[in-house]
């Protein structure tokens, strides 16, 4: 119950109330559609490498898009090799046309290193997001791994409902614990409603226990 004091007579004087004030209604801003649109979440990048010589290292990065309804378009991946003191001794830039909603892609290659690399860092930046259902345009089948004359040979078949030229096929090398050891890539043209075979041979790949393969359209 509130307490009121009347100051002075008659009772028409000023009334001061110590009761709880009635809060004012807060204004709420809504989009015209009435739907709240959350901001896109950033892409994640998991990387690994193998130093193949005193001045070069082979790397691979798996990029994940956590947004279930948004494609990430025009993605730039920055790869940094660091020595034990944390100094930058090698760097590379890779570009991907898009990362499908809720999906993963990968980049791989070899870059120079001014010394012995102790760790790798990778960061994926996005030019824009566009609404779209999850992309399932490529199907990877018949993945086989073998060794020949010191080379790691990976074979696979890439299929699509639509013809696609210049598809980048990336193989990611993993050890028994699932750590990324590096990777390699090749380009292939995929015909409509048919499979295209791809063979990727990598020298000095190290102790690769299994591989992951990603097919990435040119645009």
Q: What is the pLDDT of residues 151-200, one digit of tens each?
A: 999 999 999 988 999 999 999 999 999 999 999 999 999 998 889 999 99
87 to each of 22, 58, 90, how far by Cα in Å? 60, 18, 9
The pLDDT, as a whole number, for residue 180 is 97
Options 3.30.1360.200, 3.30.1330.10, 2.120.10.30, 2.60.40.3230; CATH of 44-216 = 2.60.40.3230
Enumerate the domain spans of the chain. Answer: 44-216
Distance of alpha carbon 203 from alpha carbon 6, whole angstroms: 94
Phi, psi of 192 (to 5 degrees): -70, 135
Mean pLDDT, range 62-70, rounded to an integer: 94
When pLDDT is cut at 50, 70 and 90, the band that residue 24 belongs to is very low
Looking at every residue in the chain, the average pLDDT score rounds to 85
SS3 155: strand
């Amino acid at each position: 119950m509130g307490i009121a004091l009347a100051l002075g007579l008659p009772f028409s004087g000023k009334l001061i109330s110590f009761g709880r004030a009635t809060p004012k209604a807060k204004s709420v801003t809504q989009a015209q559609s009435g739907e709240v649109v959350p901001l896109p979440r950033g892409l994640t990048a998991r990387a690994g490498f193998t130093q193949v010589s005193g001045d070069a290292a082979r790397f691979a990065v798996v990029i994940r898009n956590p947004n279930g309804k948004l494609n990430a378009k025009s993605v730039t991946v920055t790869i940094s090799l660091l020595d034990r003191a944390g100094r930058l001794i090698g760097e590379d830039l890779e570009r991907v046309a898009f990362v499908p909603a809720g999906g993963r892609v990968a980049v791989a290659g070899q870059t120079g290193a001014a010394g012995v690399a102790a760790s790798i860092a990778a960061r994926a930046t996005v030019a824009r997001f566009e609404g779209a259902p999850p992309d399932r345009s490529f199907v990877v089948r018949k993945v086989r791994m073998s060794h020949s004359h010191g080379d790691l040979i990976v074979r696979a078949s890439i299929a699509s409902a639509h013809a696609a030229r210049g598809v980048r096929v990336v193989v990611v090398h993993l050890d028994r614990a699932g750590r990324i050891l590096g990777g390699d890539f090749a380009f292939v043209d995929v015909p409509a409603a048919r499979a295209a075979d791809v063979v990727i041979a990598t020298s000095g790949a190290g102790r690769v226990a299994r591989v992951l393969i990603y097919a990435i359209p040119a645009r």
